[in-house]
Every structure is written in C-alpha cells, then in structure tokens.
Structure 1
Amino acid sequence: MIKQSKTISMLLLLLLMSLLATACGFHSGYQSGKYPEEINMAEHGTHHHENGGGDGVSCADITEAPSDAPVKRFTLTAAKTTITLNNGKTVEAWTYNGSTPGPELRVKEGDRVIVTLANKNVEKGVSIHWHGVVLPCSQDGVPGVTQDAVWPGKSFTYEFIARHPGTYWYHSHQQSSEQAGRGLIGRLIVEPKKETFRYDRDYAVTLQKLNDKHTLTNGQVDGLKLDAKPGDAVRLRIINADNEVQWMGVAGADFQVISIDGQDLNGPDVIRQQWIPIGGGQRYDVLFTMPKNGQVQIYSKEQPKLNLSLGHGSAPERLNKNAKEFDFTTYGTPKEDGITPDMKFDRTYQLTLGLLDINGKQFHDIPPLIVKEGEWIKIRFDHKFGGPHPMHLHGHLFKVLTKNGKPLSGSPIYADSILLFRGDVYEIAFEANNPGLWMEHCHNLGHAANGMSMMVNYEGVTTPYRVGTKSGNLPD
C-alpha cells in the first residue's frame, strides 16, 4: 500500500510538472540558470576532431552565392510597443514594424530575399529565424550558433534565395519562448512560379497566444472575417505560432489538405468534418469552394476564439468534438521518390522523448547528431512521456517514413516538423545536403526553453559565436 501511494504521488508530481511545462511558454530555462557561461555548439558533446577542429569551414562564411535572381528587399524593426487590440484593449507587445504578427512578406519562388532587421529597444537582443526555409547556415537566425543577437541600436541583414514555394513564418530565436510569445512573429509566403492547385483567393492566417493571455487570429480577438463569394476556390494557409496543438475544423464545405509545412501533397483527397491537429510551428494549407448560400468557418476545437469565417449568409453547423481526426499517413496518392524505410542509410539515430528531455538529457548535455555532407540520415523519434512534442529540424526538409512501424500509404510527406503524441513512434529521413550547424528542438517553445533542444552538426563546420550568459546569446 505504501509503495502504491508513493507511485501515485510521483505520478501526480510528474503530471503537475507536465502542466507547468506546458504553460511555461514564457519562462526560459536560461533564466533559471540552466545555461553555462559559454559554450561552443559546434564542439559540445563530441571530441574536437570529430567536428573538424579548427580546420573546418565557419558557419558565418556559408552564405548565398551571387546570382541574377530578382531581389525583394524588406526592413523589419523590432521594438517594445503598446498596441491597441480590436476590442479596444491596450497591451504591451514586442513587435516587428509596430504590429504582431509583423508584416506578411510575400515573394516568388526563386527571388533573392534581403531583409534588414533593426533592433530599436529590445534589451535582450533579437534575431529572425526563417522557420521552415532551407537557407545557408549563416542566415538561420540562431544567436550563438549562426550569428550574435542583434542588440538595441544594431542591425543584421539576412539574404537567401526562396527556393521552395510554400507557407512559412518568421520569429525571433533569441529566447524565443519569451520573444515569440510577446509578439515577435510574422508570415513568409513563397508563391510558386507555377501553381499546382487553382484558387481564386489566397489567405494566410496566424494563430497566436500573445503574452500568454490574448488568443489572436491575425492579431484580432474574437475571430476574423475574410471576404469570399459563392463559388470562389479559397486557399487558406494556417500557421500555428502558438505552443499548443490546435485542432482545426472546417465547417460548411468539403475541403482538401493541399500542403503541410509548405510542401504540396500528391493527389489530396476531398474530405469533410475532420479535425486537423496542427502542432506548434506547423503549417497546413486547405482548399475549399465557397457554398452558394452560407459561410465557411474554420475554428479551433479547444480555443473557440481562434476562428475565422468566410462569406455571408447562414453559419454552418459546427463539427462534433468527436468527429474523425485527420490522418496524413493514409491521405492522398502515393508517389515513388526512391526514399523508403528499408533503403541504405549512412547513419541512424534514436531520439527518445520524455517530459522535457531527449534521450534522458537536456540542452547542451544532449550529444549532437553528427552528419557528413552527402549522407542519408534516418532519425527514429519515440515519444515516451509528457505532452505533445512538435519536433522541428532547421535547415532541411525531411520525409516521414513510418508511424508506429507502418510505412505511410498515402502521399509522400515532406516537412520540417513532426508532431508526436505520447506513444507515437515516427521514422524520418533526410539528405545531408546543407552543411551547417542546425537546431533540432521541440516547437512547444516552453519545452525547448526547459531542455528539449539539441543540434545536428555537420562534420568540419565551426562557428565563431558562443551561446551562454557571457555573450548573451540564448537561443531556444
């Protein structure tokens, strides 16, 4: 009986820890003394010679080669700002160009994107990480790894080619659990040279929780209204900038899921009345046709204020909370690409996910995954304990191979994040074709700030920057 009581008490304690961790999107582990004074993320957890020692190429020198690509220039100024929400309330926020989300940046596939980030008055320093974008190491926006944080009065210019069309977003990666939560986020849309799907209207929406208090859709409280007329084909790009999984429903029309994490699906099926689980940092694009009479509504099952409606007329009946859950592993049409679970991989890694740890370790105590340019890498994620973990890999697109030992049977899924619930086991694969030093972390940013953050390091790549309290570079 005593042993059973102790077990129950321990389970209750772990549950409380999990609830606190889930709610701690603002509270960075760095502030609680978990980070060292200084650490070189190119060398930690491995012998110096394994990562190329001092003879390697510096991440800072891996830049975009000159080209004659069309240039799109932007300036984003980070600042502490008092904003007025559409319900009349004034709140303190950290913004890009005075708003949260910041400006939507729209470019074309193949454009050379040049963005100057200026820091007006955010004392902790800022950066911009281009979430999901495959770009040179030096442009990834991770303080202490790819650059120094941008301090008040300073600036940094990012430059990369928008090679992959799709739905992306940007956010500060300096103490991102705090800074993204305070409002330093925005959308990046890369329009394709040639459309795969036809649509009349193209909308992008950002779901966020500002200051851990205000539930916003494109910066608006209590929902958002978008214009569409009967018969319009609507592409809706849903970006989850919140830490929590958003179960999104489409009411009033049949729809297709046409893209995940910015990557088009092959032969997407027409479906109806299904809940789509969108993890922190993930993006889902849906396509539907407006009905002749009535509205289409898209909303969160758990947070009713995260909603939007399109069109006029009568509102559709809401989805039953027990409606079917969308399953990407069987959705769409298969297409051979030569990347299979049983192909030869150069290296295979196991990552076991706990409450706030990976393989039982946290932060820089987690050994990096070492890769070499040209190799094929397989990672097996095994979620053993805790809440949902949307695991995000910087600098690469990967293919999802299997779920719980079963190969996917629908469209190939290429992504930069994989959402795992407790008990899930996924295998993913990627080609090591982008030399650099890349973060792999949970995009529930409260989890990342409290331990679930590690590195994927290429052999021979170094960095002149340092993470830690001495430099003030504190990425999570």
Structure 2
Amino acid sequence: MKPFNNRFKRMFPLSLLLLICLLATACGGSIKGKIPSEIDMGSANHSHESHSDHGTAAANTISCADMTAQPSSGPVRTFQLKAAKTPLVLNNGKKSEAWTYNGSTPGPELRVQEGDRVVVNLINENIDKGVTIHWHGVVLPCSQDGVPGVTQNAVWPGEQFTYEFVAAHPGTYWYHSHQQSSQQATMGLIGRLIVEPKKEAFRYDRDYAVTLQELNDKHKLTNGAAGGLKLSASPGETVRLRLINANNLVQWMGVAGADYKVISIDGQDLNGPGLIRGEWIPIGGGQRYDLLFTMPDSGQVRVYSKTEENWSIALGEGKVPENVNKDAKSFDFIAYGTPKDDGISPQMKFDRVYDMVLGPVTINGKSGHHIPTFMVKEGEWIKIRLKHELGSEHPMHLHGHLFKVLTKNGEPLRGSPIYADSILLFKGDEYEIAFHANNPGLWMEHCHNLGHAAAGMTMMVNYEGVSTPYRVGSKSGNIPD
C-alpha cells in the first residue's frame, strides 16, 4: 500500500483502505507489484505491445516525440537542473534525506518573461529510479511535458534531457518529476516557475512566491524552511503573494491583518477581483493562488494554513494580528470578480462531451490504464462533466491545456471567468469544464493527490492521429503516476 501517504491512511478506516486497494488492484491500478509489463498510452485502449519496434510512429500518425517548440524571436533563457540524492540539514537542525534539484528543495526558482524561450538541461546524477521534469500548468509541446512512457523516457543516472518551450502564458507555475511522482515529489524533486507578464494587470511593490511542501512525509516546509517563513514588507506597500501547494492534501489558507484580493488562480488572472476579509481559501494539491494585499500602517500580515501551523508566512514587523475565525466561510469563485464575455458558455455547442465520475481512487469505476481514453480532434471544443461521488478531495489536473469552469453544482459562474489547469472537487461536487483542443498531443488527466494517482486515478486525453514511441510499464521502467 506504499502509494498511499500516511495522512491518507489516517483519513480512512483500515477496512475501507484495504477495500480501496483491492478494488484498485482488481481494476488494474499501479499498486506495487501490479504494474503491467508494457502499455502504449498513445492508443485508444492502451493495448499491451509484444513487438519491439517502437521507434517508428504508426502509419498516418504524428509522433509526440516530434512535436517540438516552434521558432520564436524572444530571448533565450537557459538553466541547468541536476537531480541528486542529497542529505539536508534543515533550519531547525533536523536532518533529512532528500532528492533535490541543484542541491535544494524546492529547487531553484526559475523566473522568466512572457515570450521567453526556456531551455532547461536536466542531469540525473544518481536517482536510480529515473527522473523527469513536468512543467505543471504550462501549455507546451507534447514532447516537453515530462511524462515518462508518454512524452519521453525517464532520465536514468548519468543521462541528460533538454526541455525547450516558449513561456507563452504569464503566471505562477511549478515543476516536479513525473516519474513515480507520488514518491519523487515528496522526496523533494520540485521547484517554482514564474512567468512574468509583458504588461502587468495589477500593481504591486513586492512579489513573493511560496511553496508549501511536506518533505519525506514528515517535515512541513515553507520555501524549504521549517517553522514558517518571514518576509520583508513595509507599511503601505502592496504585496503579491503566490501560493503553491506542492502537498497532496488541500490547504485552507487564511490571511490575518489585511483585506486581500485573489488575483490569479493556477496562473490565470481574474477579472475585477474584489476585497475579501476573513475567508479560508481551499488550495488543492498542485493548485496555485495569487493574493494581493496592502501592508497596514502598523503590524504584520500573516498568511497561514488552518490545519498545519508550520505552513505560515509572516510579512512585516510589529503586532501579530488576530487569527481568522476558524469557522469563517470558505472562498468560492462562483460569484467572485466581474463577469467578462469570452464566448465560452454552458449553452454553446460542443463537439464532444465526456463524463468523469470520481470514486476514492477510480474514474468512471475503473483504474489506471483500464480507464477509457477521452479522444479528441484538433479544433474541437470539449466539455467534461465531473462528479465526485465517494472519497476524499480530488484536485483533478489536465496536462497541456487551460480549461474554463462553466458551472458548479449546476449553477453557471456569475463572476470573473475562471481559467485553470486543475479543479478541486469535494464529495458531492459537480463541475462542468470546457477546453479548446488546440494543442495536439497525448495528455494526462489525473488526481493531484499523488497517492491517488499512484493507485490508478489517472487517465489520458489523446488527440486523433498522435502516437508515441515510448511505453509505460515495468519493462521500460517508465512509471508516470
């Protein structure tokens, strides 16, 4: 039952957990010891392949491996990230084994400008299970998505792989290994990617990006520090705080000491956001929320998790503000901000409509490669109806695309349009989302509670006419949970 993290185990009675594991295994989930030998994730039915000629795409198809970034005139930003096993001594004196990019976790914060051509050379020094880099939330060519067995092979010790893409969408993103990510992200193979806009929609004096992570399932770290984070800010200054939840579980974040705005979700700006006071913001695993607030004339602003006291950020000096009422309401984007007509509505005609019914670790009653692929064709408009029937929260993440949230529990959104790459569902929630199939490739759709993904809560959204020369399974060693 290794893919389930310890906190997930505590959330369910043992008997229910055993039942879930048995069901996941029976349905073909990737419980340890049940990984199939070889799967072609580029096929509609994920057929098992017995022949060895995987280097040539099938007739009349385009290989994901050949889908690369188009020429561009923007500046080139080049980085090198070395993945390695690294013993760390945390700022509280405790020691921890970690897997790091460039010797730290999180790895280096990569800041680029909208339109920059980003080139990252990944070197695997000694991670014997192989590594990749998935650029979480970034819309890029199929070959650069960092999914082992789908868009590339895992990078083994002594090997290198170079990623190259254009940072077309400004916003807050992050990166992590997608090879056995339920383990590798927890061990520390994560980092931040910030794409600054050519023209800023909001004014601010300070810009901070903060990662919440749980290293080795026991160390609660804020930008790699235990016991919380202290950031500089002066009275009257406006602060943009980018919150990245690299943990599996939902974090309920509160802001004490100032009114604030939610100006961006998953890196995408909101239209006309209003001031908020004393609400809890639920940020699912992998999601990002950008907050904007002005420092008070005296005292601090404190941004912190409702459930994890070590995940806190103190800004400024002076009097510590009173905590947010623990029973305060939760932020809900359904009526937040100002409407803006973009032509995408629940009433428009869609070329294909798919349903996703979510169980504890299943999608549509199936698991892993047994979940039928959602097939799409370039140029189509796709609607997906998600319904959470059983289990804990599911932050569902779509690779390679931004989607628009159409409805929540049958009610159309009344505020700002919400564009995102993930949607957080609690039990009983129903959402309709829509996306334009304008980025051909083979794309994962999975729960970003990575323990759920490892148990089989992952599927594919594949374009017609796209193939892959790579294979998932124990034979290749490519395990993209």
Flag whether TM exceeds 0.5 (same fold): yes
Q: Which amino acid aligns with 1:155?
A: Q
Picking from 418, 425, 430, the partner of 1:420 is 425
Q: Kindly provide the amino acid, as one letter, of the partner of residue 329 in structure 1.
A: I
Query: Cα offset for 1:15?
Result: 4.4
Select which of 222, 225, 249 maps to 2:227.
222
Given the superposition, is the C-alpha separation of residues 279 and 20 from structure 1 closer, same or farther in structure 2, using an over 3 Å criterion?
A: farther
Q: Aligned equivalents of 2:464 and 2:114: distance in 1?
A: 30
1:393 corresponds to which of 395, 398, 401: 398
Q: Which amino acid aligns with 2:445?
A: E
Count, aligned residues: 457
Runs (4+) off by over 3 Å: 11-21
1:431 to 433, 436, 439: 436
CA deviation string 1:96-123 (max 9, x = no partner): 0000000000000000000000000000
Distance apart, 1:17 and its partner CA: 5.0
Structure 1 counterpart SS, 2:292 = strand
Pick the aligned partner of 2:176 from 156, 164, 171: 171
Alignment of 1:242 with 2:247, yes or no, is yes
In 2, the alpha carbon distance for the partners of 1:401 and 1:46 equals 30
Determine whether 1:32 maps to 2:32: yes
Paired residues of 1:18 and 1:386 also in contact (CA < 8 A)? no
Matches within 5 A, 1:61-460: 61-460=66-465
2:169–2:195 contact (8 Å) kept in structure 1: yes
Q: CA deviation at 1:35?
A: 1.9
Against the structure 1 CA distance between its residues 177 and 227, is the aligned structure 2 distance closer, same or farther, given a 3 Å change threshold? same
Once the two structures are TM-superposed, the CA of residue 330 in structure 1 deviates from its matched residue by: 1.0
For residue 33 of structure 1, what is the amino acid of its counterpart? G
Cα deviation for residue 20 of structure 1 reads 9.0
What is the percent sequence identity of the aligned residues? 72
- Shift of the alpha carbon at 1:167? 0.1
User: What's the offset of the Cα at 1:126?
Assistant: 0.0
Q: CA offsets per residue over residues 336-356 of structure 1, 9 Å max, x none?
A: 000000100000000000011
- Kindly provide the amino acid, as one letter, of the partner of residue 390 in structure 2: F
Distance 1:318 1:117, change over 3 A: same
Q: Secondary structure at the match of 1:274?
A: coil
Q: Distance in 1 between matches of 2:287 and 2:385?
A: 19
What is the rounded CA distance, in whole Å, between the counterparts of 2:457 and 2:15 in structure 1?
16
- CA deviations 1:155-193 (Å, max 9, x no partner) are 000000000000000000000000000000000000000
Q: Find the aligned partners of 1:439 and 1:132 in 2 and give their Cα distance.
A: 12
The CA distance in 2 between the partners of 1:271 and 1:386, in whole Å, is 30
1:474 maps to which residue? 479
Query: Per-residue deviation at 1:55?
Result: 1.9
In the other structure, the counterpart of 2:3 is none
Give the conservation status (yes or no) of the 8 Å contact 1:248–1:277: yes
**Which residue in 2 is equivalent to 1:24?**
none
Partner of 1:7: none
* 2: CA distance, partners of 1:316 / 1:18: 46
Deviation (angstroms), 1:13: 5.7
Q: CA–CA distance in 1 between the matches of 2:381 and 2:161? A: 33
Looking at structure 1, the residues matched to 417 and 430 of structure 2 have their Cα atoms a distance apart, in angstroms, of 18
Contact kept, 8 Å, 2:83 with 2:123, in 1: the verdict is: yes
Q: Do the aligned partners of 2:31 and 2:454 also contact (CA within 8 Å) in 1?
A: no
Match of 2:60 among 39, 55, 58: 55
**Map of 1:26 onto structure 2:** none
Q: CA contact under 8 A between 2:30 and 2:368: conserved in structure 1? A: no
Give the unaligned 5+ runs of structure 2: 1-11, 23-28, 49-56
Counterpart contact for 1:100–1:186, Cα < 8 Å: yes
Q: State the one-letter code of the partner of 1:43.
A: S
Moved more, 37-46 or 272-281: 37-46
Q: Report the 3-state secondary structure (helix = DSSP H, G, I; strand = E; otherwise coil) of the residue aligned with 2:252.
A: strand
Contact 1:405–1:425 at 8 Å: present in 2 too?
A: yes
Contact residue 18 and residue 355 of structure 1 kept, 8 A: no
Amino acid at match of 2:143: S
CA distance in 1, matches of 2:67, 2:184: 27
Match in the other structure for 2:42: 42
Q: Spell out, residue by residue over 1:444-469, the C-alpha distance to the aligned partner (whole angstroms, 9 max, x if none).
A: 00000001000000000000000000
Counterpart residue type for residue 240 of structure 1: N
Verify the 8 A CA contact 2:31 2:455 in the aligned structure 1.
no
1:212 counterpart SS class: coil
Contact kept? 2:354, 2:374, Cα under 8 Å? yes
CA–CA distance in 2 between the matches of 1:147 and 1:263?
Answer: 28
User: Per the alignment, in what secondary structure is the counterpart of residue 32 of structure 1?
Assistant: coil
Mapped to 2, the partners of 1:130 and 1:67 lie a distance apart of 19
Q: TM-score, normalised by structure 1?
A: 0.94
C-alpha displacement at 1:34, in angstroms?
A: 2.7
Query: In the TM superposition, what whole-angstrom CA distance separates every residue of 1:302-340 from its partner, at most 9, and x where no partner exists?
Result: 111100100000000001110111001110000000000
- Note the alpha carbon deviations across 1:26-46, whole angstroms, 9 max, x for none: xxx646123210011011517
SS of aligned partner of 1:173: coil
Note if contact 1:18-1:387 (Cα within 8 Å) is conserved in structure 2: no
TM-aligned CA deviation for residue 208 of structure 1: 0.3
Residues in 2 aligned to 1:351 and 1:79: alpha-carbon distance in whole angstroms: 37
In terms of mean alpha carbon deviation, does 33-42 or 369-378 score higher? 33-42
CA distance in structure 1 between the aligned counterparts of 2:232 and 2:434, rounded to whole angstroms: 40
Contact kept, 8 Å, 1:295 with 1:312, in 2: the verdict is yes
Is the 8 Å Cα contact of residues 44 and 364 (structure 1) preserved in structure 2? no
Q: 1:87 to 1:19 in 2, by over 3 A?
A: farther
Distance 1:217 1:20, change over 3 A: farther
Check the 8 A contact 2:38/2:476 in 1, yes or no.
Answer: yes
Instruction: Answer whether contact 2:44 2:375 (CA < 8 A) is retained.
Output: no
CA–CA distance in structure 2, aligned partners of residues 14 and 370 of structure 1: 36
Contact 1:109 1:190 in 2 (8 A): yes
